[in-house]
Amino acid sequence: MKRKIIKIDEEKCTGCGLCIPNCPEGAIQIIDGKARLVSDLFCDGLGECIGHCPEGAISVELRNAEPYDENRVMKNIASQGTNTIRAHLKHLKDHGQDLYYNQAIDYLKKHNINIPEEKKMDRCANLHTSCPGSKTVTFKEEESGGELSGKRASHLHHWPVQMHLISTDSDHFKESDLLLAADCTAFTTGDFHNDYLKGKTLAIACPKLDEGQKIYVEKLKSLIDEAKINTLTVMIMEVPCCTGLVKLAQQALQKASRKIPIKLIVMSIRGEVLREEWL
């Protein structure tokens, strides 16, 4: 039968594996250093993996392929545990695939497998909850640490900093210079605060492991258009999957009505600056 199914450009693929966590169906594997579609039966053709490929190596094509088999997929997924089951069910719901979703639920019931509740950890992203980690706080420089008792001063002047938790209408972001840093950069860079964070607001994210990255694009767009940030510096690691953070920033800039300069800083895993330029 002819249906939509993903296509992987082998020349563009770097084998970073960023697509793997976003294909709970198990249709993609890294083989010989490249992402491969291992089974037509497992690919639903919805393309959830596309937006997570930093190289643009994945697309959807219409071709003859074996029909997608939800029961076969669920047999594979069920053996991988609750989190994978939950991710697959969410994937189907997010794409409005009611038929496949009901088939998946029927499979779980038939095999006496517990149906996981929707993950609640992202509730902290709603700033109207009582989650202490999401409470917006702005503090003065003298409250951020200072060089007391031989300790080096912190240049972080607001909280929270994780992209899912920040509120784009917080006063500290207005007309600021924003540093969007991959999670690992602060740990590899010897003087992250003095050299890169000083004088800037901060948001952190992991383009490989974070879920819901479409929200990041919308938040960055809001920071550009509504908070009117002056500049955006994207700081990433040299590893291929980290380039996804640059892609998110560029997508946000394309959607935004304002145009601001974006600076890219690429760090090595030894903390050296490999590349620093305005895009």
Mean of the pLDDT values across residues 239-261? 93
Q: How far is CA 201 from CA 97, 169, 230, in A?
A: 40, 13, 11
Q: Which residue has the tokens 């600021």?
A: 176
The answer on pLDDT for 179 being more than 50 is: yes
**Exposure b/e, 82-116, CB count within 10 A at least 16 = b:** eebbbbbbbbbeeeebeebbebbeebbeeeeeeeb
Q: Would you state the structure tokens that stand for residue 4, as one six-digit string?
A: 């939509």
Q: Is the pTM of this model over 0.75?
A: no
Sign of the CA dihedral 21, 25, 29, 35? negative
Q: Note the Cα 273 to chain centre separation in Å.
A: 23
SS3 150: coil
Q: What is the DSSP letter of 37?
A: E
Instruction: Name the average pLDDT for the chain.
Output: 84
Neighbours of 134 (CB within 10 A): 20
CATH architecture of 2-110: 2-Layer Sandwich (3.30)
Per-residue pLDDT band for 271 (boundaries 50, 70, 90) equals: very high
Domain boundaries defined on the chain: 2-110, 122-278
pLDDT digits (tens, 9 = 90+) for 105-121: 999 999 999 888 765 43
> Tell me, which fold does domain 122-278 have in CATH?
Rossmann fold (3.40.50)
The sheet with strand 231-237 has its strands ordered as 201-205, 177-182, 231-237, 262-267, 273-278
CA-to-CA distance for 58 and 50, rounded, in angstroms? Answer: 5
